[in-house]
A = this chain, B = another copy of it.
Amino acid sequence: MTENILKKLNEIHPITSEGRAVFLPLLESVTIEQKEFLIRQGEKAQYVYILLDGAVRVFYNKDGNEYNKTFFVSNTFPTPITALLSNTNCELSFEALLPCKLVRFSYKKFRSLFEEHRCFESLMLRIMENLWIKKERHDIRMVTNDATTNYKIFKEEFPGLENQIPQYHIASYLGITPVQLSRIRAQLIKSRPN
């Protein structure tokens, strides 16, 4: 299981065998129930998470309204990056939408490996770069489209997720109301019955 994780990291950037040796002991398995939180808005962040199974939503709460920012599915990293990097209180909440199996490790301990094991710093740079690339492409897609198109993109981006979570979470992610999403769905079914 943890070997599997190292293998994936190694594809992003090669990890030395000494690196492996000091990294593996940092890993901890975690499972959480549906509706439990990895972290809540306002808390300090400690951990980097790797999601092995389940789904997580990330949302921002303002004046009692929740705005879903993104979802995480298997083999992604539902991690409060900004809070970890800047060591500030987390501005987002990470909530399990399904029962989740995860692996986590302390970001602080991980960071302390950089000095001696340069491969981890290089790895981190690669990860940030990949994040940036993905985020920019996602933004470009979303900005130029209407809600109907973005709903289709959501279904491509998170295949199958639609049937596992309430529609109002999807609506919030799309920046529309559940009512409007329902109208969009009705219209799609009418025009292209599938």
Contact = CB atoms under 8 A, between A and B. Distances in A.
* Chain A interface, DSSP helix/strand/loop, else mixed: helix
Contacts of A139: 69
A92 B136 CA distance: 10
Interface in A94-151: 118, 121-122, 124-125, 128-129, 131-133, 135-137, 139-140, 143-144
A60 interface: yes
Interface stretch (A48-56, A80-88, A152-160): A80-88
A114 to B, nearest CB: 8
A168 interface: no
A67 interface: yes
A82 B118 contact: no
Interface residues of A, number: 29
Interface of A: 60, 62, 65, 67, 69, 81-82, 85-86, 91-92, 118, 121-122, 124-125, 128-129, 131-133, 135-137, 139-140, 143-144, 175
